[in-house]
Amino acid sequence: MDYVRSDRGSSGPRLPLALKILIAGGFGAGKTTLVSALSEVRPLQTEEVLTSVGIGTDDISGVEAKTTTTVAMDFGRITINEDLQVYLFGTPGQDRFWFLWDELAFGALGAVVLADTRRLADCFPSIDYFEQRGIPFVVGVNCFDGSRRFGIEAVRQALDLDPEVPMVLCDARDRQSAKLVLISLVEHVARQRGEPVPVA
């Protein structure tokens, strides 16, 4: 597995290994919400207010209640045990921040692509990005209240996903639900690498 940092060989204080996972997806799909639900520390957020200046650039149809947007990244942390931490990086959702993606994706173990069925096409660029770079990913279908529920197979077809890419229904606000999405990613990465699938 790729680790952000390891100093197991050094004689200094033992630092935990850190896995980096990206939380991606379209504008307003719930990335910041998911990082906040999972992080054990107060998440670093880079939210800015959506104003009328963005009309014509920011398409908020379907997410009219949204008042802020991520302009750089979200960051959160989960400690698995004293030797292992997971760093979560939420991507910005809007096209004008694409220039940040390569930096954010560097060294990532894999990614969660959050999909909002009200605006499914918004997650296509994220899926293309990870497919083109061979970065393993899973799709989390964020079940917003009031959004029409589609069968998981219908969403899979619409996304034209490879059959082995896991898809999980989730509620980005719920820690337990969000954890299951991360677990499916770790299992998927292990399967792809032919490593033993960790027991959840």
In the complex, the residues that contact ligand GTP under the rule CB under 6 A are 27-33, 66, 69-70, 92-93, 142, 144-145, 171-173
Assess 91 for contact with Mg ion (CB under 5 A). no
Tell me how far, at minimum, the Cβ of 22 lies from Mg ion, in Å.
13
- The half-sphere exposure of 155 on its side-chain side, counting CA atoms within 13 A, is 23
CB-nearer residue toward ligand GTP: 71 or 190: 71
CA nearest 188: which of 160, 172, 167, 174? 167
Residue in 70, 117, 126, 142 binding Mg ion, rule: CB under 5 A: 70
Which residue in 20, 22, 27, 31 binds Mg ion (CB under 5 A)? 31
C-beta of 17 vs 120, nearer to ligand GTP: 120
What is the CB neighbour count within 10 angstroms for residue 155? 18
Q: Which single residue brings its beta carbon nearest to ligand GTP? A: 93
Check if the beta carbon of residue 143 is closer than 8 Å to that of residue 169: yes
21: left (phi over 0), alpha (psi -120 to 50) or beta: beta
